[in-house]
């Protein structure tokens, strides 16, 4: 169990260390977009990622019978949950790659620090969720906890960057 907890932490720390020791390359593009266009594209992709995370949350609540008024989830809901999760993960990769390559991990302002922490924690939380899903020996409460952590860091990453960029470079409270 200690090794299972250490692996996600090591993943998050590895992303952090990579970002801190990387020399930012501000001219890096994202699917052909550069500068402000890349920021806007990344914000839109991040918003899609957050939307997929919301779908994941609803599907998980349905699978575990936590949505009032809905019958038990059919088997295809579990399959859909896995496919949406895979799509969300694949969508997150170019966003994260652009962030790390273009900016690295920065701590210059509260917003940027929170975004950097959330971005690194996202991959640690993803690994934790996959490890918990694959384990049959862990307590039952750990899967919703890992899923909630993953949803939370995606939400924080979205709030501290995508919302900020799409809202005229302002996010309430930051």
Is 65 exposed, middle or buried (CB count within 10 Å of its CB: 0-12, 13-18, 19+)?
exposed
Structure confidence at residue 173 (pLDDT): 87
Say if 79 falls within a structural domain. Answer: yes
Structural domain of 77: 2-166
Six-digit token pair at 76? 């295809």
Residue 8 lies inside a defined structural domain of this protein: yes
Flag whether 11 is in a domain: yes
> Is there a domain that residue 7 lies in?
yes
Q: Record the tokens describing residue 107, joined without a space.
A: 């701590």
* 172 belongs to a structural domain: no
**Total domains, the chain:** 1
- The set of residues, in sequence order, having a beta carbon less than 8 Å from that of 105 and lying 6+ positions away, is 15, 16, 18, 19, 20, 22, 116, 119, 120
**DSSP, res 139:** -
Residue 105 lies in a domain: yes
**Locate tokens 């090591």: which residue?**
10
Domain-embedded: residue 129: yes
pTM of the model: 0.93
Give me the residues of the chain with pLDDT under 70, please.
1-3
**pLDDT value, residue 136:** 85
Whether residue 173 lies inside any domain: the answer is: no
């Amino acid at each position: 169990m200690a090794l299972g907890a250490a692996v996600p932490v090591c993943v998050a720390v590895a992303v952090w260390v990579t970002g801190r020791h990387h020399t930012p390359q501000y001219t890096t593009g994202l699917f052909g977009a550069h500068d402000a266009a890349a920021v806007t594209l990344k914000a839109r992709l991040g918003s899609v990622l957050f939307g997929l995370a919301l779908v994941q949350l609803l599907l998980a609540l349905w699978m575990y019978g936590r949505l009032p008024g809905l019958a038990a989830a059919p088997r295809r809901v579990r399959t859909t949950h896995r496919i949406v999760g895979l799509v969300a993960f694949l969508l997150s990769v170019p966003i994260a790659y652009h962030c790390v390559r273009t900016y690295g991990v920065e701590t210059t302002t509260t917003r940027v620090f929170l975004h950097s922490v959330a971005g690194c924690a996202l991959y640690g939380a993803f690994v934790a969720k996959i490890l918990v899903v694959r384990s049959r020996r862990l307590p039952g409460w750990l899967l919703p906890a890992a899923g909630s952590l993953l949803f939370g860091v995606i939400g924080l990453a979205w709030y501290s960057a995508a919302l900020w960029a799409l809202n005229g470079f302002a996010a309430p409270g930051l």
